[in-house]
Amino acid sequence: MVSGVVQSAAEGVLPPAVDLKGVRIAFESAGGERFVAVEGADLRVADGEFVAIVGPTGCGKSTLLNATAGLLAPAAGTVTVFGEPLAGLNRRAGYLFQAEALFPWKTALENVAIGLDVAGVRHGEARERASQWLTRVGLGAFAARYPHQLSGGQRKRVGLAQVLIRDPKILLMDEPFGPLDAQTRQIMGNMLLSLWTSERKAVMFVTHDLEEAIALA
């Protein structure tokens, strides 16, 4: 559900964070059969806009996210990010998958800081910023715990902090709360909206749950 109309850059407004035009994505099976996952998709997401992509399993929602992330190249159509054609990985995007991406041998603090470590940020600064983000997602007291010592909802919070600490301009979320119980999903949704209100990033949130889409977007 895409809301609003985005003005063009020529009118003095920044170009959309994401602009998909006529995107077609197809795969070929081992037997040579051609399968079209997305056909003629158009989607524009303004900077700071929260967009929910709703549909049944297998309709191509995750494929659209992967194209926006630069993980898949469309067979036809264009993907532009802040007015620039996307070539390779989308360095302005952070991706929160449905499956957890935490290292089991690292603490919550170390998991959140790992992106900064890879980017060459000083050890002390990376830990300080990771601690701040854990506090923002309500896990300041759980920094020394390992993933197996955290609940499903807590691990999702660590994952969200792990993505946001890199300060992406675009947040891609692929059914991130799907495995959680209803109450925890609601708590996570409220926390996400609170963070979005303060950070105002462009969000593409994939879900098959219409109620969740309405509540968030």
Task: Indicate whether 46 belongs to any domain.
Answer: yes
Task: Give residue 180's pLDDT band: very low, low, confident or very high (50, 70, 90).
Answer: confident
pLDDT digits (tens, 9 = 90+) for 49-60: 999 999 888 888
Q: What CATH number did the domain enclosing 19 receive? A: 3.40.50.300
Give residue 141's pLDDT: 96
Give residue 184's pLDDT: 87
pLDDT digits (tens, 9 = 90+) for 97-150: 888 889 999 999 999 999 999 999 999 999 999 999 999 999 999 999 999 999
Task: Indicate whether 183 belongs to any domain.
Answer: no
Give residue 12's pLDDT: 47
pLDDT digits (tens, 9 = 90+) for 186-212: 889 999 999 999 999 999 999 988 888
Task: Give residue 172's pLDDT band: very low, low, confident or very high (50, 70, 90).
Answer: very high
- Residue 188's SS3 state is helix
Give residue 49's pLDDT: 95
> Which tops the pLDDT comparison, 29 or 27?
27
- State yes or no: pLDDT of 5 exceeds 60: no
Task: Indicate whether 102 belongs to any domain.
Answer: no
The number of domains in the chain is 1
pLDDT digits (tens, 9 = 90+) for 32-72: 788 888 899 999 999 999 999 998 888 889 999 999 999 99
What is the domain extent for residue 59? 1-92+208-217
Task: Indicate whether 34 belongs to any domain.
Answer: yes
> Which tops the pLDDT comparison, 155 or 208?
155
Average pLDDT of the chain, as a whole number: 89
Residue 130 near residue 142 (C-beta atoms within 8 A): no
Give residue 106's pLDDT: 97
Give residue 182's pLDDT: 85
The pairs formed by 23-28 with CB atoms below 8 angstroms and a separation of 24 or more are: 23/64, 23/67, 23/74, 23/76, 23/77, 23/78, 23/79, 24/74, 24/75, 24/76, 24/77, 25/60, 25/63, 25/67, 25/72, 25/74, 25/75, 26/75
Give residue 8's pLDDT: 33
Task: Indicate whether 82 belongs to any domain.
Answer: yes
Give residue 145's pLDDT: 98
Task: Indicate whether 84 belongs to any domain.
Answer: yes
Task: Indicate whether 193 belongs to any domain.
Answer: no
Give residue 70's pLDDT: 95
Task: Indicate whether 151 belongs to any domain.
Answer: no
- Residue 121's SS3 state is coil
